[in-house]
């Protein structure tokens, strides 16, 4: 269940500097528990299933074909998928900030307008971008662990890079797939064929 926190922000000046000061004051008033809850909502855990479940399907298909299931390898792979998706969502929250504010005001729903955490001023935007980059870097480290530690073959890194590039640059300029008419195609590919193929491989 999504829990929304709304913060009443005051001030008529809508410049970036004023917004940053308001966000800083709002963030400073939150308790540690509230910040943790805000980060959880920002990460959008329910939406991670769209990548984790296809990855699990690929692992099951591989088991049916070979009769072998590597639990540790599956765990590392699932972690990589979650980290890539986390990086994607956090980057989207940061770079779609202005659009999300409008979307949530005009037509609020769970599939548009992001999590609502940043427009409400519950967390610092800069921290969101840092979190996205850190998650992406950790995903790369996990990919190397899988490739070198389990000797999964030459396609491990290229397939992982496709997922990282496809997800991270969905909202991130100057690429920003979502603004080029191919964003949904990338998402369909990254949430559909790619995790199944990677897990099977």
Q: What is the pTM of this model?
A: 0.78
Q: Decide if 31 is inside a domain.
A: no
Q: Decide if 6 is inside a domain.
A: no
**Distance (Å, rounded) from C-alpha 64 to C-alpha 152?**
18
DSSP structure string for 150-190: H---TTHHHHHHHHHHHHHTTT-TTT-GGGTT-HHHHHHHH
**Distance (Å, rounded) from C-alpha 189 to C-alpha 99?**
24
pLDDT of residue 157: 94
Produce one character per residue of 34-45: b if its CB has 16 or more CB atoms within 10 Å, e if not: eeebbbebbbbe
The band of 103, judged by pLDDT with boundaries at 50, 70 and 90, is: low
The band of 15, judged by pLDDT with boundaries at 50, 70 and 90, is: very low
Reply yes or no on whether the pLDDT at 165 is more than 80. yes
Q: Which domain holds residue 71?
A: 44-96+124-200
pLDDT of residue 123: 84
Q: Decide if 79 is inside a domain.
A: yes
Q: Decide if 69 is inside a domain.
A: yes
The band of 107, judged by pLDDT with boundaries at 50, 70 and 90, is: low
Average pLDDT, the chain: 80
**Distance (Å, rounded) from C-alpha 177 to C-alpha 103?**
19
Q: Decide if 196 is inside a domain.
A: yes
| Total number of domains constituting the chain | 1
């Amino acid at each position: 269940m999504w829990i929304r926190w709304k913060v009443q922000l005051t001030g008529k000046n809508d410049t970036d500097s004023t917004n940053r000061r308001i966000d800083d004051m709002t963030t400073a008033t939150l308790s540690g528990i509230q910040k943790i809850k805000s980060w959880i909502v920002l990460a959008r855990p329910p939406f991670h299933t769209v990548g984790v479940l296809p990855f699990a399907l690929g692992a099951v298909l591989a088991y049916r074909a070979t009769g072998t299931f590597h639990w540790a390898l599956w765990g590392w792979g699932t972690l990589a998928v979650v980290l890539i998706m986390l990086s994607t969502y956090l980057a989207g929250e940061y770079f779609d900030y202005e659009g999300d504010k409008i979307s949530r005001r005009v037509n609020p729903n769970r599939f548009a307008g992001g999590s609502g955490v940043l427009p409400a001023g519950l967390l610092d935007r800069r921290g969101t971008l840092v979190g996205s980059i850190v998650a992406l870097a950790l995903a790369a480290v996990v990919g190397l662990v899988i490739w070198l530690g389990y000797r999964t073959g030459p396609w491990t890194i290229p397939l992982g890079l496709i997922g990282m590039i496809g997800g991270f640059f969905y909202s991130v300029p100057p690429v920003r797939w979502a603004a080029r008419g191919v964003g949904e195609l990338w998402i369909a590919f990254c949430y559909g064929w790619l995790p199944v193929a990677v897990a099977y491989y």
